[in-house]
């Protein structure tokens, strides 16, 4: 299957700082990338969907000014958590899919996740 990487795998930061997380599709071109958040003992919650070259679509309740998403190329999307606070501590996971648009048989491939801890 296709490979998606994330960097860093974990990060610890001070409250008020910003953190950038990268998501890369290593062996395919990702027309769409998704960002999820997962709190302990809970399931994944979709935060936003981004298509290459266009603005991300955020889910209800997700602050677009706090979670900045950039999908500048077909292999890279970044999530920046701005002015992070302890409640932003979570496991952030990206996924990517390629192939033909509007084909829901396309498979989403997930990155390994980034553990963010805000002190």
User: Which one of 13, 46, 74, 76 is in contact with another protein (CB under 8 A)?
Assistant: 46
The torsion region of residue 102 among left (phi > 0), alpha (psi -120 to 50) and beta comes to left
Interacting residue with another protein among 21, 30, 32, 88 (CB under 8 A): 32
Q: CA–CA distance from 99 to each of 28, 51, 55, 77, 110 (Å)? A: 9, 13, 20, 17, 15
- If the CB atoms of residues 86 and 104 are measured against another protein, the closer one turns out to be 104
Which one of residues 19, 84, 93, 118 is an interface residue with another protein (CB under 8 A)?
93
Residue closer to another protein (CB basis): 16 or 112: 112
Q: Is 44 in the site for another protein (CB under 8 A)?
A: yes
Residue 54 binds to another protein (criterion: CB under 8 A): no
Q: How far apart are CA 40 and CA 17, in angstroms?
A: 23
């Amino acid at each position: 299957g296709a490979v998606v990487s994330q960097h860093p795998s974990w990060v610890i930061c001070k409250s008020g700082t910003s953190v950038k997380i990268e998501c890369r599709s290593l062996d395919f071109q990702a027309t769409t990338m998704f960002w999820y958040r997962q709190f302990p003992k809970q399931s994944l919650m979709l935060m936003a969907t981004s298509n290459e070259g266009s603005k991300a679509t955020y889910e209800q309740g997700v602050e677009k000014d706090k979670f900045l998403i950039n999908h500048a190329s077909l292999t890279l999307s970044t999530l920046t958590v701005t002015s992070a606070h302890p409640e932003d501590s979570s496991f952030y996971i990206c996924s990517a899919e390629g192939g033909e648009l509007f084909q829901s048989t396309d498979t989403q491939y997930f990155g390994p996740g980034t553990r963010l801890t805000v002190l």
